[in-house]
Amino acid sequence: MALVTITSDFGLQDHYVAAVKARMLQVNPQLNIVDISHQIEKYNMAHAAFVLQQVYADFPKGTVHVMAMSGTSRENQATWLSSIGTTYS
């Protein structure tokens, strides 16, 4: 079972979260996607890290955690991927 979590500052007022999930499912239709939060304070990486830290260990080993933060431009957007014991950026 492929499990992915998403934590972002995208909010829930528009299509961004759905677009991210749609792209993930195009790559792997068998994914199970869990929303941790999309109400992270804009550009506040410390807030995102705190929220993810509260639940990180509750997920099974091998879970991929995605943190996606908005940027003022495409070049400033940030996405971090991590799996328990492994981190990708």
The tens digit of pLDDT for each residue in 39-74 reads 999 888 899 999 999 998 899 888 989 888 876 555
List C-alpha distances in Å: 38 to 10, 12, 46, 61, 86. 6, 7, 14, 23, 23
Q: Is residue 86 predicted with pLDDT exceeding 60?
A: no
Whole-angstrom distance, CA of residue 28 vs CA of residue 40: 26
Q: Is residue 89 predicted with pLDDT exceeding 50?
A: no
Residue with tokens 């492994």: 86
pLDDT (mean) for 25-50:
93
Domain range summary for the chain, segments of one domain joined by +: 3-88
Share of the chain above pLDDT 70, in %: 79
Whole-angstrom distance, CA of residue 84 vs CA of residue 3: 12
Fold of the 3-88 domain: Rossmann fold (3.40.50)
Contact yes or no for 32/62 (Cβ under 8 A)? no
Q: What is the pTM of this model?
A: 0.80
Which one-letter amino acid corresponds to residue 34? Answer: V
